[in-house]
């Protein structure tokens, strides 16, 4: 019997149909029952005898692959594969897959939620009201603002469609711009410099790569409008947190909303926590029942495809 390791927590709870699908096709599912992402040592112990892995945020490097001589496929439960050593996997003939586009609705909703919460200070007002402080706050509306999207993949496109309901002007930069889709949505593709210079709100949607490390940095922030709002639901390494700290301190940034961090998980002494106009969530933008159900089936089918001898892409081979 082939064995699959589900590395993400709560697989049975949120991916029951995917688990049943694997089992119905003769696959034994080994689950992460720790309630948290697996450490390297935990992963090394659990992966010794498995043929495939459904990967959460745990790292699959040469050391892990050495511990898994039977491993044939790693299917990322999501989009980003910055936790995979893809070159090492290619050398060993391990097929890697991911699920582009599936989580776009959940992450886009989360992106717009962070924008609204920054502009209207909902978390702060909620807490203050519960404490008996009746603060009548004047806010800035999202309606009519110019929003710049750095990256124009599936999440950014879905975000743009949602923002159209707020009558926003949408600008976007992408290294490989899709002008046709931009026109269909009503998005203006521009240079990075122009997007940054013109936007009232900037939202980061680039993948995590060597070339996008600290993509948003001190120099980029300096060229923004004073009081610009920054949103990051991509990867923590895409934003230089020290530059953000300085910009919040000086008032250059009107606020920062983030679902991701350079180092996760963060501790209570995380420097940005001192700012009232910083709103964060613990990397949960893609955590929706709908996304888990669909991504669960997509990863299960990709794994079964490879274990049955398939080599051509069933979803996306990276």
Residue 313 has what pLDDT? 53
Catalytic residue (one of 76, 157, 205, 235): 235
* Burial of 275: CB neighbours in 10 Å, binned 0-12, 13-18, 19+: middle
pLDDT, tens only, 113-122: 999 999 999 9
Is 154 a residue whose pLDDT tops 50?
yes
Residue 110 has what pLDDT? 98
> Is 205 in the active site?
no
Is 80 a residue whose pLDDT tops 90?
no
Catalytic residue (one of 33, 264, 276, 290): 264
Catalytic residue (one of 283, 294, 298, 305): 283
Burial 11-38 (b: 16+ CB within 10 A, else e): beebbeebbebbeeeebebbbbeeeebb
Segment 246-263 shows an average pLDDT of 97
> Is 63 in the active site?
no
Residue 310 has what pLDDT? 79
Segment 91-99 shows an average pLDDT of 94
pLDDT, tens only, 159-192: 999 999 999 999 999 999 999 999 999 999 999 9
Greater model confidence, 126 or 317: 126
> Is 136 in the active site?
no
* Percent of the chain's residues with pLDDT above 90: 92
């Amino acid at each position: 019997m082939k064995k699959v390791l589900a590395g993400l927590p709560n697989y049975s709870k949120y991916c029951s149909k995917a688990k049943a699908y694997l089992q119905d096709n003769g696959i034994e599912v080994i689950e992460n029952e720790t309630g948290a992402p697996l450490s390297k040592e935990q992963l090394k112990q659990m992966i010794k005898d498995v043929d495939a892995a459904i990967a959460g945020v745990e790292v699959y490097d040469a050391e892990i692959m050495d511990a898994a001589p039977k491993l044939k496929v790693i299917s990322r439960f999501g989009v980003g594969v910055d936790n995979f050593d893809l070159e090492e996997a290619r050398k060993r003939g391990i097929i890697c897959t991911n699920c582009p586009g599936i989580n776009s609705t959940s992450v886009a909703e989360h992106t717009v939620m962070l924008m609204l919460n920054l502009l209207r200070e909902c978390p702060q007002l909620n807490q203050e009201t519960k404490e008996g402080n009746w603060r009548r706050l004047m806010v800035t509306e999202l309606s009519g603002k110019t929003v710049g999207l750095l990256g124009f993949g599936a999440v950014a496109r879905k975000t743009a469609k949602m923002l159209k309901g707020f009558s926003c002007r949408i600008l976007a930069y992408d290294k490989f711009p899709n002008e046709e889709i931009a026109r269909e949505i009503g998005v203006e593709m521009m240079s990075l410099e122009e997007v940054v210079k013109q936007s009232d709100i900037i939202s980061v949607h680039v993948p995590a790569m060597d070339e996008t490390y600290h993509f948003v940095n001190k120099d980029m922030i300096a060229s923004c409008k004073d009081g610009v709002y920054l949103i990051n639901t991509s990867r923590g390494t895409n934003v230089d947190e020290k530059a953000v700290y300085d910009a919040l301190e000086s008032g250059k940034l009107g606020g920062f909303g983030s679902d991701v961090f350079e180092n996760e998980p963060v501790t209570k002494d995380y420097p940005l926590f001192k700012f009232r106009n910083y709103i964060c969530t613990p990397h949960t933008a893609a955590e929706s029942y709908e996304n888990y159900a669909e991504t669960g089936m997509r990863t299960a089918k990709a794994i079964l495809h490879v274990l049955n001898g398939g080599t051509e892409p069933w979803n996306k081979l990276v």
